[in-house]
């Protein structure tokens, strides 16, 4: 049963008034049957405790409301207190098992493709496309993931550092020059998008890139909305944006193919790398598969960085001590570079150890991705509970990130947790980028980008929040609700050099 059936019921009401009296009974039978099926069709199997919520909608409305107000952790913890670390619910129209804890993360992120596979909500798969790497299995999934991992590995990324540093420095100066205040969220979204497009995809600046940015923003907003495909809804607008994105990249792919004729070994960017791939039959990848995975790469290559950078700016505005510690580390790097090429290098980035520990702690407390969906492709079990084939499995990072047995005083901001001499945390307990064989292939690109941007911010500026204690809102990702406006103070040359 889906929204289309509700639409048919509505049409029947409008066109045939005589059926009005029967509608409550019809709806009751349909919803009752749905609920009975979801609840009792696995008689004899030990399903996890929990509630499937309302027929059709399940607990999606309360879940999305919690997301909107950054209360998802409380939403999960309330159910853990009632049912334990493994519980059932119904989200995005499907029965779902929520799994928390280190053992649960290991189960989710281990190479367990025979039982559990990636599975985005229907809104996500519709907008990103059914051939994106999260939806694929088998040969094509491994082919695409291997290509992305190879292109984004540290040895490959090192060639981008100087160009990335110059681009970031230029973009910050252009945006901040002559201004007393800046809206950080839109700025960080744009700078990370521009960096990814310029270095990973070689996309030209101009009106088309501006339109692509706007469409990707619209598409992202619709991914975790309700699957309601009619005008005025977020999902409807997102699908319209996807069609425009598809058209843009289809045209680009055609142009790149013409340029690469006679030069099949060219791998200057991510798009060229994907164009050179061949499926198990030796054929080029389809246009749909190429576009879906280019779109996936662009979204993935800038959103995590944007969230982390926004949290960085927000936290350093509130805590001068951490700002000063980071500033001293960055100034030391500048002093060591006196008389040489001013652009930062790969070796310089490796010296930003304390800065990255602050980043790690920010991602522990406010992970860019709170959780995500997978799907049982066969009957399986975990923790003594049956997980039926076809059910969603949802993992959440807070289950370990905020566990006092893993991270003592989890509410306290403490970057020293990640010092080499500190007590190590168990595998699969810290998962801002996933874990095991399913760790995000773009994590190193994100680290490089974040560290370069933070370096140029703290060495050139100080800032304060315009809106003290601005709350976080997830729509669907965690951003300050008002866009994080800040007041700027530009440092003099003497301040930068001393």
Does pLDDT of 260 surpass 80? no
> Contact 123/222 with Cβ under 8 angstroms?
yes
What rounded mean pLDDT belongs to the chain? Answer: 85
User: Is 440 within any annotated ligand binding site?
Assistant: yes
Segment 340-347 shows an average pLDDT of 87
pLDDT band at 57 (very low <50, low <70, confident <90, very high): confident
Alpha-carbon span 238 to 223, nearest angstrom: 8
Does pLDDT of 294 surpass 60? yes
> 160 or 5, which is more confident?
160
9: in domain:
no
pLDDT score for 85 = 94
CA distances from residue 39 to 52, 252, 313, 316, 375 in whole angstroms, order as listed: 8, 49, 47, 49, 18
pLDDT band at 16 (very low <50, low <70, confident <90, very high): very low
19: in domain:
no
Does pLDDT of 23 surpass 60? no
CA distances from residue 148 to 18, 87, 259, 282, 441 in whole angstroms, order as listed: 59, 34, 22, 19, 7
Does pLDDT of 245 surpass 80? yes
pLDDT score for 42 = 65
Segment 69-94 shows an average pLDDT of 92
Exposure letters 448-487 (e unless 16+ CB within 10 A, then b): bbbbbbbbbbbbbbbbebbeeebebbbbbbbbbbebbebe
- Hey, what are 26's tokens? 């019809």
Q: pLDDT tens, 157-199?
A: 998 999 999 999 999 999 999 999 999 999 999 999 999 999 9
Alpha-carbon span 241 to 284, nearest angstrom: 26
10: in domain:
no
pLDDT band at 118 (very low <50, low <70, confident <90, very high): confident
Give the CA-trace dihedral at 274, 279, 284, 285, to 10 degrees: -60
Does pLDDT of 4 surpass 70? no
pLDDT score for 265 = 46
pLDDT band at 494 (very low <50, low <70, confident <90, very high): low
Residues whose CB is less than 8 angstroms from the CB of residue 333 and which lie 6 or more positions away in sequence, other chains included: 344, 348, 351, 352, 455
Alpha-carbon span 245 to 124, nearest angstrom: 15
CATH number reported for the structural domain that contains residue 340 in this entry: 1.10.630.10
Segment 328-352 shows an average pLDDT of 91
pTM equals 0.86
pLDDT band at 496 (very low <50, low <70, confident <90, very high): low
326: in domain:
yes
pLDDT score for 445 = 92
pLDDT band at 497 (very low <50, low <70, confident <90, very high): low
- Hey, what are 248's tokens? 């843009």
13: in domain:
no
486: in domain:
yes
Domain count across the chain: 1
Query: First and final CA of the chain: distance in angstroms?
Result: 67
> Contact 9/28 with Cβ under 8 angstroms?
no
Q: pLDDT tens, 440-480?
A: 888 999 999 999 999 999 999 999 999 998 998 876 678 99
* Nearest residue to 132 via CA among 66, 225, 223: 223
Segment 17-40 shows an average pLDDT of 44
Does pLDDT of 238 surpass 60? yes
pLDDT score for 323 = 97
Residues whose CB is less than 8 angstroms from the CB of residue 300 and which lie 6 or more positions away in sequence, other chains included: 440, 442
Exposure letters 430-447 (e unless 16+ CB within 10 A, then b): bbbbbbeebebbbebbbb
pLDDT score for 299 = 83
455: in domain:
yes
Alpha-carbon span 62 to 66, nearest angstrom: 6
20: in domain:
no
Percent of the chain with pLDDT over 90: 54
Q: pLDDT tens, 395-430?
A: 999 999 999 999 999 999 999 999 988 778 899 999
- Hey, what are 337's tokens? 């570079």
pLDDT score for 490 = 93
Q: pLDDT tens, 360-391?
A: 999 999 998 888 888 898 999 999 999 999 99
Q: Which domain holds residue 281?
A: 42-497
Q: pLDDT tens, 295-335?
A: 988 888 778 899 999 999 999 999 999 999 999 999 999 99
pLDDT band at 145 (very low <50, low <70, confident <90, very high): confident
Does pLDDT of 339 surpass 80? no
**Lookup result for tokens 């930062």:** 344
> Contact 167/199 with Cβ under 8 angstroms?
yes
Alpha-carbon span 418 to 356, nearest angstrom: 9
Percent of the chain with pLDDT over 70: 88
């Amino acid at each position: 049963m889906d929204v289309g059936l509700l639409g048919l019921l509505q049409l029947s009401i409008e066109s045939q008034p005589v059926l009005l009296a029967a509608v409550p009974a019809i709806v009751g039978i349909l919803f009752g049957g749905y609920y009975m099926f979801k609840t009792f069709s696995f008689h004899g199997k030990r399903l996890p405790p929990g509630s499937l919520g309302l027929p059709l909608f399940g607990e999606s409305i309360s879940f999305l409301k919690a997301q909107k107000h950054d209360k998802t952790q409380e939403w999960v913890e309330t159910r853990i207190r009632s049912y334990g670390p493994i519980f059932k619910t119904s989200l995005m129209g499907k029965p779902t098992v929520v799994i928390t804890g280190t053992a649960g993360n290991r189960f989710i992120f281990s190479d367990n493709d025979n039982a559990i596979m990636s599975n985005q909500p229907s809104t996500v798969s519709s907008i990103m496309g059914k051939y994106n790497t999260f939806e694929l299995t088998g040969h094509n999934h491994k082919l695409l993931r291997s290509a992305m991992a190879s292109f984004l590995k540290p040895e490959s990324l090192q060639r981008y550092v100087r160009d990335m540093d110059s681009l970031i420095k230029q973009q910050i100066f252009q945006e901040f020059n002559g201004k007393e205040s800046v809206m950080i969220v839109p700025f960080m979204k744009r700078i990370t998008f521009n960096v990814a497009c310029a270095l990973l995809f070689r996309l030209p600046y101009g009106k088309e890139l501006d339109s692509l940015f706007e469409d990707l923003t619209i598409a992202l907003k619709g991914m975790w909305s309700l699957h309601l495909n009619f005008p005025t809804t977020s999902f409807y607008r997102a699908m319209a944006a996807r069609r425009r994105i598809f058209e843009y990249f289809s045209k680009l792919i055609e142009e790149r193919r013409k340029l690469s004729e006679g030069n099949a070994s060219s791998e200057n960017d991510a798009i060229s790398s994907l164009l050179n791939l061949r499926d198990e039959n030796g054929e080029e990848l389809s246009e749909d598969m190429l576009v879906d995975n280019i779109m996936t790469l662009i979204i993935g290559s800038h959103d995590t960085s944007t969230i982390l950078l926004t949290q960085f700016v927000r936290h350093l505005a509130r805590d001068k001590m951490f700002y000063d510690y980071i500033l001293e580390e960055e100034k030391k790097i500048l002093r060591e570079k006196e008389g040489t090429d001013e652009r930062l290098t790969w070796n310089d980035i490796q010296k930003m150890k304390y800065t990255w520990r602050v980043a790690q702690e920010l991602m522990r407390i406010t992970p860019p991705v709170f959780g995500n969906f997978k799907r049982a492709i066969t009957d399986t079990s975990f923790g003594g509970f049956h997980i039926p084939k076809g059910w969603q499995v949802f993992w959440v990072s807070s289950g370990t990130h905020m566990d006092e047995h893993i991270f003592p005083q989890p509410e306290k901001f403490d970057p020293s947790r990640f010092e080499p001499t500190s007590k190590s945390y168990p595998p699969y307990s810290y998962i801002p980028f996933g874990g095991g064989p399913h760790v995000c292939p773009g994590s190193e690109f994100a680290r490089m980008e974040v560290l370069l941007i933070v370096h140029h911010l703290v060495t050139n500026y100080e800032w304060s929040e315009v809106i003290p204690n601005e709350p976080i809102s997830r729509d669907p990702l965690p951003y300050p609700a008002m866009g994080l406006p800040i007041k700027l103070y530009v440092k003099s040359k003497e301040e930068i050099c001393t």
